[in-house]
Amino acid sequence: MTTVIKLGGSLLEPQASPVLLAALARVARQTDLVLVHGGGKALSALLRRLDTPTEFRQGLRVTTPAVLEAALMALAGETNTGLVAALQAAGLRAVGLTGCDAGLLRARRIPELGAVGGEPAADAALCRTLLAAGYTPVIASLGM
């Protein structure tokens, strides 16, 4: 059995707590674990630093081309790399990915929200390969 856990970005700010990391390591020792993470706070902070306006509609961020570029930097870069490093330090063999890698995550674009997707679908083949080799996939919530 595989356990998939979605970590909201607020759990990772300013960094994941040692208690959370230890709990994730315990879960990974008992079952195959796949982590998917957000990073909304990191993205908002980066957008402020870049002086890029952001808008929310019904709780979802409108993702313009400029916001998407920042999302790639924040989620696939800073947040994913930091989480992978912390998990490695906690004893997991973590591998950082995005949902774009090997077409892991696909979604249908919601036009009024820009590059936001709905109706997600996953292709778990890469995750199964990594899990079989003893790795914990850590996936930034970006998709095709």
For 61, phi and psi rounded to 5 degrees? -75, 130
- Identity of residue 128: R
pLDDT in tens, 65-79: 999 999 999 999 999
Whether the full predicted model's pTM is greater than 0.85, yes or no, is yes
- Cβ-contact 111, 14 below 8 angstroms: no
Nearest to 92 by CA among 20, 38, 142, 8: 20
- Identity of residue 116: V
pLDDT of 11: 85
Q: What is the mean pLDDT of residues 110-134?
A: 95
Q: What is the mean pLDDT of residues 114-139?
A: 95
pLDDT of 13: 81
State yes or no: pLDDT of 112 exceeds 90.
Answer: yes
Q: What distance in Å separates the CA atoms of residue 104 and residue 25, rounded to the nearest whole number? A: 23
Q: What distance in Å separates the CA atoms of residue 115 and residue 49, rounded to the nearest whole number? A: 21
Both structure tokens of 120? 């997600």
Whole-number CA gyration radius for the chain: 15
Alpha carbon 16 to its chain's center: 13
State yes or no: pLDDT of 14 exceeds 90.
Answer: no
